[in-house]
């Protein structure tokens, strides 16, 4: 594995609280070289000859840079600047005082290679370190759910169709410029006018007319794109760029057809389209519609979080769709058994997890005290040993709200800015890992 043990003209850590935290995090990372090895495996995945070519960033450096990015909410351009400019950040990332630092594009390329499964494995190593240090043993846990939004605008069918027309027209322009496909027309201006008419008119009849014309425009563009994809596949069979462009056209055609279908069902035929069948973004098609407390509608993914008494996040699970909290209680407790080799002694959960079946299964798993924030017909004596224990656990559960708020405010978990479902999962895991390392460092510095 590539390592950078010898730093060129390394400087000592400055006397500052943030530098002390970075130094302690660096000490934790250095004590577990298997973390860097896991990242290294992601960096060389798919590379035929990893020992050849430029040296590039090591797994250790990529992990440290990723932590800095999530800790400060830097863009890649800002991250490149601060790593080059700051002595403390250079030291933390093991670049050395006179060594060169990676560019914005190099940072983006390397960080996006890190898989969510790898970050979850590293998270388990950090929790083992916390257990060995006596900071967190996972005996008392609190479980809740939150939503992490994807980076999309509020979706409407008219906006989605305009997005589809725009992106397919841009791809058609490339097919025309580089491969000579000319059987298409630019309808972007017409599509935008119809979208504005849909959004701004107060007349139901005029809105329906504008929708019909927007549907007609979208179907025309789908036809152009289909012909272009077939043309590229048949006429430029050996050209990899042409085949890649044909694949992009086919991808967005399929998505735009879904938008056309749901618009026709809802607007033309008056159907109520179930949320699970709706597409809310052409660029983040994995996005789920999450209705929270029957009042707020969010677009992203539901994340179940388990917190410990120390303030560490012991587990997080990203789920598809909008499952009820009550369906995930046993799953989250079983995952604690996988992490620690035993169930927690006490567990406190939000009212949404309450059910007699969940209580029975948690007790059968070996959890001694189970506290649901809302009783919903359950007796305190069924859940815990005494009313005093129930009150303590109920108050303890409230702390998970602050932990989730900490993740969202300080580590960017309110909205994922990375594109794609795999990157979304990596982003969430990276935020949780960074928060845990910082919290663990603060515990060890006291």
* 299-316 pLDDT per residue, tens: 999 999 999 999 999 999
Cα 189 to Cα 92, 95, 143, 156, 327: the distances in Å are 51, 50, 50, 18, 47
Mean pLDDT, rounded, of the chain: 94
- Classify residue 205 by burial, with Cβ atoms within 10 Å: 0-12, 13-18, 19+: exposed
Question: Same domain for 223 and 311?
Answer: no
Instruction: Give the predicted TM-score (pTM) of the model.
Output: 0.92
Q: Which of 29, 202, 47 is nearest to 125 (CA)?
A: 29
Range of the domain at 173: 157-277
Question: Same domain for 291 and 416?
Answer: yes
pLDDT in tens, 386-428: 999 999 999 999 999 999 999 999 999 999 999 999 999 999 9
Measure CA 192 to chain center. 31
Whether 1 shows a pLDDT value over 80: the answer reads no
Could you tell me which residues are beta bridge partners of residue 144? 305
Q: How far apart are CA 393 and CA 332, in angstroms?
A: 17
Q: How far apart are CA 396 and CA 391, in angstroms?
A: 8
Question: Same domain for 166 and 269?
Answer: yes
Asked if residue 429 is part of any domain, the answer here is: no
The string over 255-280, giving b where at least 16 C-beta atoms fall within 10 Å of a residue's C-beta and e elsewhere, is: bbbbbbebbbeebeeeeeeeeeebbb
At 46 the pLDDT is 80
Span 211-223, average pLDDT: 97
pLDDT in tens, 2-44: 555 555 555 678 899 999 999 999 999 999 999 999 999 999 9
Asked if residue 9 is part of any domain, the answer here is: no
- What are the φ and ψ backbone dihedral angles of 173, each rounded to 5 degrees? -60, -40
Question: Same domain for 258 and 207?
Answer: yes
Instruction: Give 150's contacts (C-beta < 8 A, 6+ positions apart).
Output: 281, 284, 286, 287, 299, 300, 301, 415, 416, 424
Q: How far apart are CA 304 and CA 328, in angstroms?
A: 8
Question: Same domain for 172 and 215?
Answer: yes
Most confidently modeled range among 90-104, 168-182, 262-276, 281-295: 168-182
Question: Same domain for 313 and 333?
Answer: yes
At 2 the pLDDT is 55
Question: Same domain for 189 and 214?
Answer: yes
Question: Same domain for 172 and 272?
Answer: yes
pLDDT in tens, 250-259: 999 999 999 9
At 97 the pLDDT is 74
Asked if residue 347 is part of any domain, the answer here is: yes
Question: Same domain for 311 and 406?
Answer: yes
């Amino acid at each position: 594995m590539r390592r950078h043990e010898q730093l060129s003209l390394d400087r000592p850590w400055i006397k500052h609280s943030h530098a002390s935290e970075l130094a302690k995090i660096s000490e934790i990372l250095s004590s577990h070289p298997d973390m860097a090895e896991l990242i290294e495996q992601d960096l060389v995945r798919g590379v035929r000859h990893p020992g050849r070519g430029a040296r590039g960033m090591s797994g250790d450096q990529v992990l440290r840079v990723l932590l800095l990015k999530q800790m400060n909410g830097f863009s890649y351009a800002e991250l490149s600047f601060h790593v080059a400019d700051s002595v403390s950040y250079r030291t933390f990332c093991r670049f050395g005082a006179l060594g060169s630092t990676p560019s914005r594009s190099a940072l983006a390329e390397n960080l996006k290679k890190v898989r969510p499964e790898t970050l979850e494995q590293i998270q388990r190593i950090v929790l083992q370190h916390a257990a060995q240090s006596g900071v967190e043993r996972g005996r008392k846990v609190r479980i809740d759910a939150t939503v992490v939004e994807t980076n999309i605008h509020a979706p409407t069918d008219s906006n989605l169709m305009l997005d589809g027309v725009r992106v397919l027209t841009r791809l058609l322009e490339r097919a025309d410029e580089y491969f000579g496909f000319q059987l298409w027309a630019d309808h972007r201006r017409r599509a935008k006018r119809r979208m504005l008419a849909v959004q701004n008119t107060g007349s139901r009849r005029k809105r329906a007319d504008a929708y019909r014309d927007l549907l007609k425009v979208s179907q025309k563009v789908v036809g152009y794109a289909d012909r272009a994809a077939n043309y590229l596949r048949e006429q430029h069979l050996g050209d990899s760029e042409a085949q890649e462009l044909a694949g992009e056209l086919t991808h967005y055609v399929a998505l735009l057809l879904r938008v056309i279908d749901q618009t026709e069902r809802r607007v033309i035929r008056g159907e109520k389209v179930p949320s699970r069948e709706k597409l809310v973004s052409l660029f983040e098609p994995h996005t789920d519609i999450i209705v929270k407390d029957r009042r707020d509608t969010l677009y992203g993914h539901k994340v179940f979080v388990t917190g410990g008494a120390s303030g560490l996040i012991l587990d997080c699970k990203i789920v598809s769709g909008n499952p009820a909290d009550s369906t995930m209680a046993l799953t989250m407790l079983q995952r604690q058994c996988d992490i620690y080799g035993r169930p927690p002694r006490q567990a406190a959960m939000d009212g949404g997890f309450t059910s007699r079946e969940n209580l029975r299964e948690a007790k059968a798993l070996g959890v001694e005290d189970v506290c649901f924030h809302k009783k919903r017909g359950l007796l305190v004596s069924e859940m815990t040993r005494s009313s005093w224990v129930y009150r303590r656990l109920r108050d303890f559960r409230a702390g998970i709200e602050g932990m989730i708020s900490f993740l969202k405010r300080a580590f960017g978990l309110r909205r994922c800015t990375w594109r794609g479902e795999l990157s979304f999962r990596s982003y969430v895991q990276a935020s949780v890992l960074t928060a845990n390392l910082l919290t663990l460092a603060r515990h060890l510095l006291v």
